[in-house]
Structure 1
Amino acid sequence: MKRDCMKGTIVVTGASRGIGLAIAEKFAKEGYDLALIARSEKELKGIKKRFEELYKVIVYTYTCDISDYNIIKEIINDLTKRITNITALINNASVGHFGLMRNLDVNRWEETIKVNLLGTYYVTKELLPFFIQKRSGDIINISSGAGEEGYSFCSAYSASKFGLSGFTESLMKEVRSIGVRVSLLSLDTVQTEMSRKSGLKVNNWDTIMKDEDVANVVYFMKNLPDHVFLKETSLWNVNPDRI
């Protein structure tokens, strides 16, 4: 199927699970078409089938590792040829390798930077000319409290997210006069597989924000009046219940 949705098409990276999947589903429920990028072809196929049947939207899927720039160029080139009304890019794809810096394997450190920072840059770099030509569009980068404060067990993750913060603010100042809105959303602990594997000690995970909470905030940010945007915002848990 090929069409241009009246509401627009939302590009989401890391869309096969967790926060990315929740964001994708929120926009699908509201009638937006989707372009989903993730590593798992099997999961993307299932999501495409379910969303198209349930929400009557069109879902384009691309399987790749966003840290591969050559593949990203091919994907975005294909996407912009097929769709003329891409209205937002949600940079959500992320990996987290946790442990003391002196113990963390060099390959894991490098992968964290390549995916979380360089991968976000690659996708943004390739899609940005499309937004500039239209003189509109939203780029929302999903970050973390670890990008505002360093912790002893997540030097690589913090470095990638601190870098993302600087990248986002610089790009925002570069393109807002053209009509492109660039925002940063930093998150407290979320009930995700990554959080559970990070080593965080939480008494009751049920008190922690859910993927759907994040999706609702992203949807709100995207649908602010055209003449304003949130430069950056943080979503915190009221009662983190953390040891």
Structure 2
Amino acid sequence: MNAKINNKNVIITGASGGIGEKMALRVAENGGNLALIARSAERLEALKEKISRQFQVKVETYRLDVSEFEKVPKVFSSILEEFQSIDVLINNAGYGVFDEAHEARFEDIKGMFDVNVLGLVACTQQVLPHMRERRSGHIVNIASQAGKLATPKSSAYAASKHAVLGFTNSLRMEASQSGVYVTSVNPGPIATNFFSIADKSGSYVKNVEKFMLDPERVAVKVIDALFTRKREVNLPRWMNFGSAIYQLAPRIVERLGKNAFYKK
């Protein structure tokens, strides 16, 4: 349990399913209030009802596609008006499409960058002035191990997550001057519906199914890190170790891991 979350106001994007939903439940369990953002109003309302039945916390829902940048300020203004303060922003909205670079549709590439990167930046910019003024807050960006170690068939997705990590690392140093914490979360494959879009053939899921992370475990690790100075949450540890080795010896890792990487 993280007692520091009690009575804090937490925004989660991409909250209608997967680790977004699990993180929302974990926040509520710790006594935090929730502003839930996602594209599906119906699924958000179902989650709100579930949380309201189980926990005595405030929950509000906001339908928003974070790639519709012009709508982001209005939604965040509504959240601030309703909650009066914002303590945490978890940028969880994101998706991937796995294709080799020469086969990838430009629309998919643009879509990933619009949601995974620019949507994340747009949401972050809405809370930063408020947090800096209060000299308090925590921004969590859900990135990926793909942002540390790119593999075949995910060039555009990996590029978007590299961008998220670059943005996050710079933001962390800037925000620290105002007492605002910034954490990146870098999970490997998670057992969610992410792969219904990313891996339509199902071949990648079949190959890595036994290594997939439990979304509940990821959510616990993320929420337990709130209001700590934790720089990164990396899961699983063995995969992050591989990413670290790649930084030191990329040619060796690419040669030895070639067959495994092509299992997407």
| TM-score greater than 0.5 by the shorter chain | yes
Q: Is the 8 A contact 1:143 1:186 kept in 2?
A: yes
1:84: how far off?
2.3
1:232: how far off?
2.1
Who wins on radius of gyration, i.e. which is larger?
2
Distance in 2 between residues matched to 1:212 and 1:62, nearest whole Å = 23
Q: Is the 8 A contact 2:138 2:227 kept in 1?
A: no
**Letter matched to residue 184 of structure 2:** L
Structure 2 counterparts to residues 1-243 of structure 1, below 5 A? 7-195=7-195, 197-198=198-199, 199-203=203-207, 205=209, 207-224=211-228, 229-236=229-236
Write 1 or 2 for the structure with the bigger share of helix: 2
My pick for the range that moved more, 192-201 or 113-122, is 192-201
Distance in 2 between residues matched to 1:6 and 1:114, nearest whole Å = 33
Q: Which string of whole-angstrom CA distances, capped at 9 and with x for unpartnered residues, describes residues 156-193 of structure 1?
A: 11010000000001111111011001111101111111
- CA-atom RMSD in angstroms: 1.9
Distance in 2 between residues matched to 1:237 and 1:23, nearest whole Å = 20
Distance in 1 between residues matched to 2:140 and 2:34, nearest whole Å = 15
My pick for the range that moved more, 138-147 or 189-198, is 189-198
**Letter matched to residue 147 of structure 2:** G
Distance in 1 between residues matched to 2:171 and 2:17, nearest whole Å = 27
1:53: how far off?
1.7
Q: Is the 8 A contact 1:188 1:237 kept in 2?
A: no
Identity percentage of aligned residues: 31
Distance in 2 between residues matched to 1:61 and 1:89, nearest whole Å = 14
Q: Which string of whole-angstrom CA distances, capped at 9 and with x for unpartnered residues, describes residues 20-39 of structure 1?
A: 11111110111111001000
Q: Which string of whole-angstrom CA distances, capped at 9 and with x for unpartnered residues, describes residues 186-207 of structure 1?
A: 0111111114653425457355
Distance in 1 between residues matched to 2:137 and 2:215, nearest whole Å = 24
In the alignment, which residue of structure 1 is the partner of 2:251? Answer: none
My pick for the range that moved more, 119-128 or 184-193, is 184-193
Runs of 4+ in structure 1 deviating by more than 2 angstroms, as ranges, are: 195-199, 201-208
Which runs of 5 or more structure 1 residues have no equivalent in the other structure?
none
Distance in 2 between residues matched to 1:223 and 1:192, nearest whole Å = 26
1:219: how far off?
1.2
